[in-house]
Amino acid sequence: MAGTFSRSFQLVKESFQVLKKDKELIWFPMISLIVTVLLFISFTVPVYFLTDIKAGDITNNYLYYVLLFAFYLLSYFIVIFFNTGLITCAHRRLNGEDPTFSDGFQNAKKHIGRIFVWALISATVGIILRIIANKSNTLGRIVIAFIGMAWSLLTFFVVPVMIFENISVIQSIKKSGYLFKKTWGENVIGQFSMGFFFLMLGLIGIIPLVISFFIGSFIIIVLAVALVIIYWVILAIISSALSGVFVTALYNYANTGKVPSVYSPEVIESAFKPKMPRGIV
pLDDT tens across 115-163, in order?
Answer: 999 999 999 999 898 888 877 788 888 888 888 888 888 888 899 999 9
Cα–Cα dist 90/29, whole Å: 13
When pLDDT is cut at 50, 70 and 90, the band that residue 240 belongs to is confident
Cα–Cα dist 114/80, whole Å: 10
Q: What is the 3-state secondary structure (H, E, C) of the chain?
A: CHHHHHHHHHHHHHHHHHHHHCHHHHHHHHHHHHHHHHHHHHHHHHHHHHCCHHHCCCCCCHHHHHHHHHHHHHHHHHHHHHHHHHHHHHHHHHCCCCCCHHHHHHHHHHCHHHHHHHHHHHHHHHHHHHHHHHCCCHHHHHHHHHHHHHHHHHCCCHHHHHHHCCCCHHHHHHHHHHHHHHHCHHHHHHHCCHHHHHHHHHHHCHHHHHHHHHHCCHHHHHHHHHHHHHHHHHHHHHHHHHHHHHHHHHHHHHHHCCCCCCCCHHHHHHHHCCCCCCCCC
Q: 160: buried, middle or exposed (CB in 10 Å: 19+, 13-18, 0-12)?
A: buried
Cα–Cα dist 46/225, whole Å: 28
Q: Please report the pLDDT score of residue 55 as a whole number.
A: 56
Q: Please report the pLDDT score of residue 59 as a whole number.
A: 56
> Which residues are CB-contacts of 74 (< 8 A; sequence separation ≥ 6)?
39
Does the pTM surpass 0.75? The reply is yes
Q: Please report the pLDDT score of residue 105 as a whole number.
A: 94
pLDDT tens across 207-239, in order?
Answer: 888 888 888 788 888 888 889 888 989 988 888
Closest CA to 249 of 261, 236, 266: 261
Residue 145 phi/psi, 5-degree rounding, is -65, -40
Please compute the mean of the pLDDT values over residues 35-40 and round it to a whole number: 91
pLDDT tens across 242-261, in order?
Answer: 888 888 888 887 777 777 77
